[in-house]
Amino acid sequence: MQKDEMRNLLVEYMGKGFLENIISLIKTDASLFELIPDLLKEENMRVRLGAVALVEEFLPSNPAALRAILPRLIKLLKHHLPNVRGDVAYALGILKDPGAIPALKELLADETAAVRESAKEALADIEGKGV
């Protein structure tokens, strides 16, 4: 299956709440980690939240694969949809990679209050000051 077809399948599955199925797919095909940023930029909130859940699920077992997508996640902090920016900031807080700090600090000046709050919380998590 080609990348676009797989992305569309994952979006469809995530939209229907089939998170466990997607987790199983990724466990058998680690190349699917590269699709997480694509899921995070979807307008559908269920898809984005599922992508964040994937980050939480796989961080303990496969941190290197998640860190490999870090540059693409950081680029999404400039996405035109504030919900995407906020959810990506949250995911970066989960990853706790110091490489995201400069981009998250820029987000503290975002026009949307919820995005600023997500960036603030992510920075606190990365810097070890999280709740």
- Residue 97, CA distances (Å) to 22, 35, 69, 94, 104 in order: 24, 19, 11, 8, 11
pLDDT of 130 strictly over 70 = no
pTM, 2 dp:
0.93
Confidence band, pLDDT 50/70/90 cuts, at residue 129: confident
Q: What is the mean pLDDT of the chain?
A: 95
pLDDT in tens, 2-36: 889 999 999 999 999 999 999 999 999 999 999 99
How far is residue 66's CA from residue 80's CA, in Å, rounded to a whole number?
23
Confidence (pLDDT) at 5 = 94
**Domains of the chain from N-terminus onward:** 3-126 (1.25.10.10)
pLDDT of 131 strictly over 70 = no
pLDDT in tens, 45-104: 999 999 999 999 999 999 999 999 999 999 999 999 999 999 999 999 999 999 999 999
- Token code pair at residue 82: 């504030």
